[in-house]
Amino acid sequence: MRSISILGATGSIGASTLDLIRRDPENWRVVALTANGNAAELATLAREFAAEIAVIADEARLPELREALAGSGVEAAAGAGALTEAAARRADITIAAIVGCAGLAPTMAAIEQGGIVGLANKEALVSAGDVMTAAVARHGATLLPVDSEHNAIFQCLAGNDITDVRMITLTASGGPFRDWSFEQLKNATPAQAIKHPNWDMGAKISVDSATMMNKGLELIEACHLFPVGLDRLRIIVHPQSIVHSMVEYRDGSTLAQLGPSDMRVPIASTLAWPQRMDTPCEPLDLAAIGALTFRAPDEERFPATRLARWAARAGGAAPTVLNAANEVAVAAFLDGRIAFTRIAEHVEDVLSCYAPDAPASLDDVIAVDAEARVQARARLTTESAAID
C-alpha cells in the first residue's frame, strides 16, 4: 500500500487522480486532500477516501468544512500555513495540482519531505525555476511530470542519454481559437475560451491554452525538467492532441508518445512509475482518427509563446514576472474586465516595466510574484480608468 496526498483535490487534475485511486482502493492510503474554497466537495472526497486531513485554503470556510466532516475522523484545517503543513506530511507521492503560483509553497513543502512529487502545477516550477530544482536535488525528492507533454517527453527519454537529444518538440492543440483571425480574437468571450476542443480542464489553464500561454509556460517548464537548452526546444501545433510530444535523437530517430486526450493517462504513468497500471481510457483507434496533422505556431496572432521564450532566455526573475502578470490578466479576462487579446499585451507591458533581481530563495520568489501582481493590477486599473 502506498500513501498519497493531493494538493488541489477538488480540481480537474485532482478529480482524475482520485478517479484512478477509487478504482484501486486497497493499494492507496490518502494522507492529505486540499482545496481553495470548495469545502463541501473537499469534505465529500475526504470522507470517501478516509483522508488523514482535509485542508481548505480559505479560512472563512473552515466552519463549513468542520461541520461536513463531523464524526468522520478526518482532521480539518484551514489557511496557507495549514496547507503547507499538510503538504509536508510524509506521503510516498504527492500530486501537486493547485492552479497558479498559490501552489508553490505547498509544492515546495512536499519536495522538502523527499518523496515523489507528481507536478501538474506548472506555474510553481515556472515561477520558482532553479529554486525548485535545487530543492529537489537537496532533499533527494523525485519530480515526475504530470503535464501530458512533459510526461510524454519523460517517457520518450527513458533508457536514452539526454546528451544524445537533438530536439524536443512540444505539441500544442492550438486551443479553441487556433483558426480565428486577430479581429475575431479581440471579441472572444470567457465562455468561448474555456471550451477547449480536446481537453476537459480548469478555467485558468483553458484560457492559457486559448492564448497559447500554456505552451509558453510549458516551454519554461521543459527547460527546467529537461536541460537540453532552449534552442533544442520547439513547439508545433497538432490539432488532434494525439501525439503528446516528441524527442528527436542525433541519429535521426524521433520517439513520440501517443494517447487519448485524457489526463488519466499521464497521471497513471506518474502514479505507477516506473511501472504501469490500468486505466479506464479507451485505446487509441488510429484508423478512426485517420490523420494526424502538424503546423507551425503563429506568433503574430498568439504572441504568448514568443514572450515565454524571451523570459526563458532572460532567466532570473523574468519567468516569475511573466507568470504572475499572466495570472492577473487571465483573472481580469475571466471577470470580463479586459479583452482576450489584452492578456498577452498586458504580460508584455508588465515584463517591460518590472525587472527585479533573480530570486535566490522561496521567499524571494514569493516576494517577486507578489510585487509583479501589484504592478500588473496597477496597470490594469490605469487601463480601466483610461477606458472609462
Select 9 or 91, whichever has its Cβ closest to ligand NDP: 9
Q: Which stretch binds ligand NDP (CB under 6 A): 35-43, 165-173, 236-244, 279-287?
A: 35-43
Assess 259 for contact with ligand NDP (CB under 6 A): no
Per CB under 6 A, 102 contacts ligand NDP: yes
Tally the residues of the chain.
Answer: 388
Q: How many CB atoms lie within 10 A of CB 10?
A: 22
The full DSSP string for 51-63 is -SEEEESSGGGHH
- 99 interacts with ligand NDP by CB under 6 A: yes
- Dihedral sign of CA atoms 200, 203, 209, 214 in order: negative
Whose cell is 493531493? That residue is 6
- Distance CA(233)–CA(223), nearest Å, equals 8
> Which residue in 20, 30, 32, 36 binds ligand NDP (CB under 6 A)?
36
- What x-and-dash track marks residues 322-351 binding ligand NDP by CB under 6 A? ------------------------------
- Pick the piece of the chain touching ligand NDP (CB under 6 A) from 22-30, 43-51, 98-106, 343-351: 98-106
Minimum Å gap between C-beta 103 and ligand NDP is 7
Per CB under 6 A, 13 contacts ligand NDP? yes
Burial 118-154 (b: 16+ CB within 10 A, else e): bbbbbbbbbbbbebbbebbeeeebebbbbbbbbbbbb
List the interface residues with ligand NDP, window 150-169 (CB under 6 A).
none
Q: Give bridge partners of residue 170 from the DSSP assignment.
A: 235, 245
Q: Of the candidates 329, 344, 121, 90, which has an alpha carbon nearest to the alpha carbon of residue 218? A: 121
CB under 6 A: which stretch of 121-129, 158-166, 254-262, 342-350 binds ligand NDP? 121-129
Tell me if 328 sits within 8 A of 377, measured CB to CB: yes
Q: Which of 52, 64, 112, 147 binds ligand NDP (CB under 6 A)?
A: 147
Torsions phi, psi for 347 (to 5 deg)? -60, -45
Cα distances (Å, whole numbers) of residue 7 to 45, 59, 207: 13, 16, 21
The answer to the question of residue 101 lying near ligand NDP (CB under 6 A) is no
123 near ligand NDP, judged by CB under 6 A: yes
Strand pairing report for 243-249 and 254-258: antiparallel
From 197-205, 223-231, 298-306, 365-373, span contacting ligand NDP (CB under 6 A) = 197-205
**Nearest distance, CB of residue 293 and ligand NDP, angstroms:** 22
User: Per CB under 6 A, does 8 bind ligand NDP?
Assistant: yes
Q: Is 43 in the site for ligand NDP (CB under 6 A)?
A: no
Q: Which is nearer to ligand NDP, 166 or 334 (CB)?
A: 334
Surface-to-core class of residue 198, CB atoms within 10 Å of its CB (0-12 exposed, 13-18 middle, 19+ buried): middle
* Dist. CA 58–CA 56, nearest whole Å: 6
Q: Which of residues 55-74 bind ligand NDP (CB under 6 A)?
A: 57
Candidate list 4, 5, 11, 224; residue touching ligand NDP; CB under 6 A: 11
Q: Which residues contact 176 (CB under 8 A, 6 or more apart)?
A: 192, 193, 195, 196, 197, 209, 210
Among residues 21, 46, 68, 97, which is the contact residue for ligand NDP, using CB under 6 A?
Answer: 97
Count of residues interacting with ligand NDP (CB under 6 A): 27
Residue 221, interface with ligand NDP (CB under 6 A)? no
Which range in 120-128, 294-302, 324-332, 378-386 contacts ligand NDP by CB under 6 A?
120-128
Is the Cβ–Cβ distance between 76 and 62 less than 8 Å?
Answer: yes
What DSSP element (H or E) covers 116?
strand 116-119
Q: Cell match 492559457: residue?
A: 208
Among 17, 107, 121, 341, binds ligand NDP (CB under 6 A): 121
Query: Candidates 31-39, 225-233, 282-290, 352-360 — which segment interacts with ligand NDP by CB under 6 A?
Result: 31-39
Task: Return residues touching ligand NDP (CB under 6 A).
Answer: 8-14, 35-38, 57, 97-99, 102, 120-123, 147, 199, 201-202, 204-205, 263
